[in-house]
Amino acid sequence: GENVEQHPSTLSVQEGDSAVIKCTYSDSASNYFPWYKQELGKRPQLIIDIRSNVGEKKDQRIAVTLNKTAKHFSLHITETQPEDSAVYFCAASSGSGGSNYKLTFGKGTLLTVNP
Amino acid sequence: NAGVTQTPKFQVLKTGQSMTLQCAQDMNHNSMYWYRQDPGMGLRLIYYSASEGTTDKGEVPNGYNVSRLNKREFSLRLESAAPSQTSVYFCASRAGSAYNEQFFGPGTRLTVL
């Protein structure tokens, strides 16, 4: 099955700095890579995603890059703010078609943005 | 739209007791999922239902059973709870294609003594 590795497990940055979180995946058939943000005590929520036919996607201060050859993808947050502090999860979607898709998640990165 | 709802929010069980976690979604999604979240372990898939009438094991199915009651509802049952099942349980749903967003419920915090 799919295996997703995520690094680092914790990341501390100063407000205004950039943060980068990296993930690798094992299944070359995976074709969808979402990122979720989970604030303390809350549910995970999608912040950005990328499909396998795209190399980069941006949404304001966040961007995701995908390297299919190397099987890795990264989340970039620029101009970090204290409200960006949360746990971030990467995931990869694999399945045999139709509705039979499931996400495999990385173990998460605790991002702390210091004022 | 309520999205994905779960009951109960909190539960304390004694070892050996049984219980069912309930999940419902009102987004007409085909696929539903149960995850458990433990510190440092991320979100691990317990069982999923790709469509009404089907269920499949995920990464950590031992000690659990599921029922896809209808398109809206997907329940998770612990027949004989063990302390190792102390965790936060999240239900999720997704429309039936490769690229659709997966929506999570608010979670159930379960403690097994």
Each residue's pLDDT tens digit, A37-80: 999 999 999 999 998 888 999 999 999 999 999 999 999 999 99
Quick one: pLDDT band at residue A2, thresholds 50, 70, 90? Answer: confident
Residues on chain A touching B48 (C-beta within 8 angstroms): 102
Task: Find the CB nearest A89 among B42, B97, B105.
Answer: B42
Residue A51 has which token pair?
Answer: 């499909």
With a cut of 80, say whether residue A12 has pLDDT above it: yes
Mutate to test the interface with B, among A37, A66, A102, A109 (most CBs of B within 10 A): A102
Say if CB A2 and CB A90 are below 8 A apart.
no
The pLDDT score that the predictor gives to residue B58 is 93
Taking CA atoms, what residue in B is nearest to A30?
A: B98
Give the distance from residue A93's alpha carbon to the nearest chain B alpha carbon, in angstroms: 7
Backbone angles phi, psi at B85, to 5 degrees: -95, 5
Quick one: pLDDT band at residue B104, thresholds 50, 70, 90? Answer: very high
Alpha-carbon gap, residue B43 to B47, rounded angstroms: 12
B13-41: average pLDDT: 95
Residue A17 has which token pair?
Answer: 């700095």
The pLDDT score that the predictor gives to residue A100 is 63
A20-26: average pLDDT: 97
The pLDDT score that the predictor gives to residue B100 is 84
Is the Cβ pair B101, A49 closer than 8 Å? Answer: yes
What angle is formed at CA B104 by the lines to CA B99 and CA B106, rounded to 5 degrees?
170
The pLDDT score that the predictor gives to residue A14 is 98
Question: Could you tell me which of B19, B24, B2, B4 has the C-alpha nearest to residue B69?
Answer: B24
A&B contacts, CB < 8 Å: 64
Would strands B4-7 and B19-25 be described as parallel, antiparallel, or unpaired? antiparallel
**Cross-sheet strand order for the sheet of A56-59:** A4-7, A19-25, A72-77, A62-67, A56-59
Q: Would you say the C-alpha torsion A24, B62, B111, A45 has a positive or negative sign?
A: positive
Least confident of A40-44, B39-43, B95-99: B95-99
Question: Could you tell me which of B14, B3, B6 has the C-alpha nearest to residue B75?
Answer: B6
Give the distance from residue A18's alpha carbon to the nearest chain B alpha carbon, in angstroms: 23
| pLDDT tens-place string over residues B57-80 | 999 999 999 999 899 999 999 999
The pLDDT score that the predictor gives to residue B97 is 73
Quick one: pLDDT band at residue B40, thresholds 50, 70, 90? Answer: confident
| pLDDT tens-place string over residues A79-108 | 999 999 999 999 998 766 655 688 999 999
Q: Is A9 on the interface with B (CB under 8 A)?
A: yes
With a cut of 90, say whether residue A1 has pLDDT above it: no
With a cut of 90, say whether residue B41 has pLDDT above it: no
